[in-house]
Amino acid sequence: MKFHILFILECFCCLRLSFKASDFMKYRKVGKSGLKVSEISLGSWLTYGGSVENEVAKKCMTTAIENGINFIDSAEIYAKGGAEMVIADFLAEETFNRKDLVISSKVFWAMNDYDVNDWGLSRKNIMNAIEGTLDRLNMDYIDIYFMHRYDYMTPLRETVEILDDLIRDGKVRYWGTSVWTAAQLERANAIAKDIRAHKPVVEQPLYNMLVRYIEMEIMSVAKTHGMGFTVWSPLAQGLLTGKYNDGIPEGSRADKSEFLKKNLTEETIEKVKKLGEIASSLEITIGQLALAWILRRPEISSAIIGATKPEHVIENVKASDVELSKDTLSQIEEILDNEPEWPLTYKPNYYYKDKMR
């Protein structure tokens, strides 16, 4: 009898772990699709399978799910498949139910340096890539398959057709794009409509307080076609957490990245410090402010964070519970002073704006 009670209690604890509700997390639909994802999601770029030890990565994923994150993003190119394998190892422990999660991957970049067909969005490469991804993830399907860049050498119709086939075969639930232009999104949706294929439901662009180009045209075009956004680098690789306000810590990402170092200008650091003053007045962190600022836009489905420690996850998920007032948003806009604008000739013209509601 005692054994049976302990067994039931153990199973009950596992169930609670799998379905634990978050005090902070909110969820949004991915565009006009029926898919719902957490406002904050967990990415694996530059971390899992690479710079972060596997056991630490697993702890980050555990913490993420326990705090309401249901979307884990990856790509075959991340650590050359290593990130996908870490996710597979984590899910193999069966602490959490795979069906409760939204798992994504991506295809485009070359996985080797000898096969001329091992890159891009051709039918051949996508079919090979999805088999590799499913094998590394140890899954029968993935929820979202992102086209990691636009392929200028493959007819777009060929790409749309094979993605439609994969959805109908049950290997992919939805497909999306990553870092595509407004014109490319228009064309993809037009082709899908013309051949009655499944349309892309999501775009994954670079977007944060310092990089805002998608606000000009990409957001409106994607919204018109019912696409959502899962944005990457929402904290500008840590710059928007304030960790570089007093210099570059030894062993930090900027310490190893010349690209990131170039962004650490006096002007940018000064902006981050002023944003920190706003965050302090709201009793939140700069990172939470930066994430809440992204989530101010209804077009955004999720902000994909990176995490090298479970504490990073806990801090970032709280941004889902932060709502910024119009006054605060105005203060932020004044500090950033970088709202993207069209060249004068292309600026929208409005008449009688004062008479319109």
For 26, the token pair is 């909110």
pTM of the model: 0.91
Tokens describing residue 134 = 């499913």
Handedness of CA 92, 28, 229, 236 (dihedral sign): negative
What is the DSSP code string of 239-289?
A: GGGTTTTTS--TTSHHHH-HHHHHH--HHHHHHHHHHHHHHHHTTS-HHHH
Q: Residue 291's closest CA among 213, 338, 203, 232? A: 232
Whether the CB-CB separation of 140 and 110 falls below 8 Å is answered with no
Per-residue confidence band for 10, with pLDDT thresholds at 50, 70 and 90 = very low
The domains found in the chain, sorted by start residue, are 28-355 (3.20.20.100)
Residue 38's DSSP bridge partners are: 27
Beta strands (DSSP E) in 27-161 are 27-29, 36-38, 40-43, 71-73, 102-107, 142-147
DSSP, res 344: G
Q: What is the predicted pLDDT for the residue at 257?
A: 73
State the catalytic residues.
78
pLDDT score of 20: 54
Quick one: average pLDDT of 332-349? 93
Strand intervals (E) in the chain = 27-29, 36-38, 40-43, 71-73, 102-107, 142-147, 172-177, 202-203, 228-232, 300-305
Bigger pLDDT: 214 or 252?
Answer: 214
Task: Report the Cα 147 to chain-centroid distance in Å.
Answer: 13
Q: Residue 351: its pLDDT value, please?
A: 87
Per-residue confidence band for 255, with pLDDT thresholds at 50, 70 and 90: low
Mean pLDDT for the stretch of residues 193-218: 98
How far from chain centre, in Å, is Cα 33? 17
CA dihedral 98, 145, 322, 261 (to 10 degrees): 120
Cα separation of 180 and 20, whole Å? 36
